């Protein structure tokens, strides 16, 4: 449930972060995935060594320390402190580059900055470590869906559908995937299917409902179940 909420929050962050990017100064490497892949100075390398030694003294293993910093990163992410979260994710990665969850987190933040192609590359890295992660497949689908909205290429819609079906196969209770399948069906002009998926998702978790999308769907086709009504949509 926690990761499901985080995936939904990523969608909300995308609009606000993208809006703020126009006047944004170059990002600090600490807030870029894997520190931006930039060669570190001697001083920065010494700081890393000091940090790693400190963790070695305070944790049984670096894997345990990595997990600790991932949890702190998710907490900051949920609070909307994206840069602080990314720095914690980077520390988790520095401690354990084989922590697949770090690549997932990098992908989520990158997607929130509306860099969907880059996010997909990071998600694919995460998928190597977590091939049966239903929510990860959902996030991959969300990136493809956002690319479709920008580029209007059917391959992205097909890829989104493929990833979402995989997500549902892995976890039939993944409401985020069901909501996203509803949106895919809508864009494919399958309004009956869109309503079917939307109600399946609603029955699992009402919190993920996008009311702007709901309004658009009602304009195309009234709710067959009568649960949502156009004259009551603002109530």
pTM of the model: 0.84
- Residue 96 within a domain: yes
Same domain, 110 and 181: no
* pLDDT single digits (tens) 98-150: 999 999 999 999 998 899 999 999 999 999 999 999 999 999 999 999 999 99
> What is the residue range of 172's domain?
154-235
Same domain, 123 and 42: yes
Taking 70 as the threshold, does the pLDDT of residue 177 lie above it?
A: yes
What's 108's domain CATH number?
A: 1.25.40
Helix (H) or strand (E) holding 55: helix 42-58
- Residue 147 within a domain: no
Same domain, 127 and 178: no
SS3 at position 17? helix
Same domain, 55 and 108: yes
Residue 15 has a pLDDT of 43
* CB-neighbour burial class of residue 2 (10 A; exposed 0-12, middle 13-18, buried 19+): exposed
């Amino acid at each position: 449930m926690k990761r499901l909420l985080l995936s939904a929050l990523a969608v909300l962050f995308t609009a606000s972060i993208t809006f703020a990017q126009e006047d944004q100064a170059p990002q600090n490497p600490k807030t870029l995935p894997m520190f931006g892949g930039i060669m570190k100075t001697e001083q920065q390398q010494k700081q890393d060594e000091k940090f790693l030694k400190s963790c070695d003294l305070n944790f049984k293993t670096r894997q345990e320390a990595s997990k600790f910093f991932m949890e702190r990163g998710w907490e900051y992410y949920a609070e909307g402190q994206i840069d602080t979260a990314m720095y914690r994710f980077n520390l988790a990665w520095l401690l354990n580059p084989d922590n697949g969850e770090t690549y997932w987190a990098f992908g989520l933040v990158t997607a929130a900055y509306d860099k969907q192609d880059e996010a997909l590359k990071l998600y694919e890295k995460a998928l190597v470590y977590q091939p049966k992660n239903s929510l990860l497949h959902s996030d991959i689908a969300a990136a493809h869906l956002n690319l479709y909205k920008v580029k209007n290429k059917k391959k992205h819609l097909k890829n989104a559908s493929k990833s979402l079906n995989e997500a549902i196969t892995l976890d039939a209770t993944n409401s985020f995937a069901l909501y996203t399948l509803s949106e895919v069906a809508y864009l494919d002009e399958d309004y009956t299917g869109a309503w079917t998926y939307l109600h399946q998702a609603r029955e699992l978790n009402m919190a993920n409902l996008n009311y702007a999308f709901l309004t658009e769907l009602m304009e195309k086709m009234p709710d067959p179940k009568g649960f949502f009504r156009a004259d009551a949509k603002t109530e």
